[in-house]
A and B are shown apart, each in its own frame.
Chain A
């Protein structure tokens, strides 16, 4: 299968940036939209639900996906001499670091 080398840069950048932006979105509550499961309504940004709990998870994913998609698209335009500096290991090393960070951030639930 022939795929453009710039797609490699896109996927590696997307994985790394998506992970980083997602953990920031969760911590800072940068949700692109929110959802009220009790009423089944969507609202922009972090609008609280009129009734019941507010869900931000979908909004965090949307924020992370859009930012990562934009950054990865720009990175995929890098000339080949610069693109070779994009280490493929970023695709798994950054997500692993973020997983460890989430474990630390939520460790309070396991230490009660």
Chain B
């Protein structure tokens, strides 16, 4: 069961990473031309269309991670401590808190994308997207790193 949950958590995180990265690029580096290059297509997405997917994927990923965390706490975490992998250990501790802060900004993120006035809230919207993108990238990279050190089933 743990392996299935971990794979589901990883897949949800992967989709979330893609969605929030697209949105952040669309906000900060929107495409100015219709050039058919890969990078231009990446930047030309309508950022607002990702909002609901990002909220749902964030909550799904966090809930799955929260369940798996119990197994990490009695298994992998002890291994990291015994082996003195302090940087990985600390990065994962930070992940726990960073993801929680991301959870706290979700209502504001949703509001400023879906309901607030477009022009007045552009900066707030961009900053919330940036914070959320940082949260998701940190969570994804550190989760991957910790799993490489001592993943489920190893």
Assembly CA distance A42 to B93 (angstroms): 21
B121 nearest in chain A by CB position = A88
**Do A109 and B105 form a contact, CB below 8 Å, given A1-B115, A102-B98?**
no
Residues of B within 8 A of A8 (CB): 111, 115-116
Interface string of A8-33 (1 = CB under 8 A from B): 10111011001100110010000000
A95 in complex: contacting residue of B74, B89, B104, B115, CB < 8 Å:
B104
Contact B98 A99 (CB under 8 A): yes
The bracket for how many chain B residues form the interface is 35 or more
A91 to B124, CA, bound (A): 8
A1 B70 Cβ-Cβ under 8 A:
no
Asked if A45 CB lies within 8 Å of chain B CBs, one says no
Contacts A18-B104, A102-B97, A103-B94; A11 near B70 (Cβ below 8 A): no
**CB contact under 8 A between A109 and B98, given known A92-B128, A96-B131:** no
B28 in the interface, Cβ–Cβ < 8 Å? no
Q: A11 contacts which chain B residues (CB < 8 A)?
A: 107-108, 110-112
- B residues 47-87 near A (Cβ < 8 Å) are 66, 69-71, 73-74, 77, 86-87
A72→B85 CA distance, assembly (Å): 40
Q: Is the CB of B71 within 8 A of A37?
A: yes
B70 touches A14 (CB 8 A): no
Are the C-beta atoms of B86 and A92 separated by less than 8 Å? no
Do residues A35 and B94 form an inter-chain contact, with CB atoms below 8 A? no
B96 partner residues in chain A, CB cutoff 8 A: 57
Contact yes or no, B100 A91, CB < 8 A? no
Check B94–A106 contact: CB distance below 8 A.
Answer: yes
Say whether B114 faces chain A, with CB atoms less than 8 Å apart.
yes
| Residues of chain A with a CB closer than 8 A to B104's CB | 14-15, 18-19, 22, 64-65, 68, 95
Can you add 17 more A-B contacts, CB < 8 Å, to A65-B104, A91-B128? Answer: A1-B115, A2-B115, A11-B111, A18-B101, A18-B104, A52-B74, A55-B69, A57-B100, A64-B100, A89-B123, A93-B127, A96-B131, A98-B101, A99-B97, A99-B101, A102-B97, A102-B98
User: What are 14 sample pairs from A and B whose C-beta atoms fall under 8 A apart?
Assistant: A1-B114, A14-B107, A15-B108, A37-B71, A38-B74, A55-B73, A64-B100, A88-B112, A91-B105, A91-B108, A93-B127, A99-B101, A110-B86, A112-B87
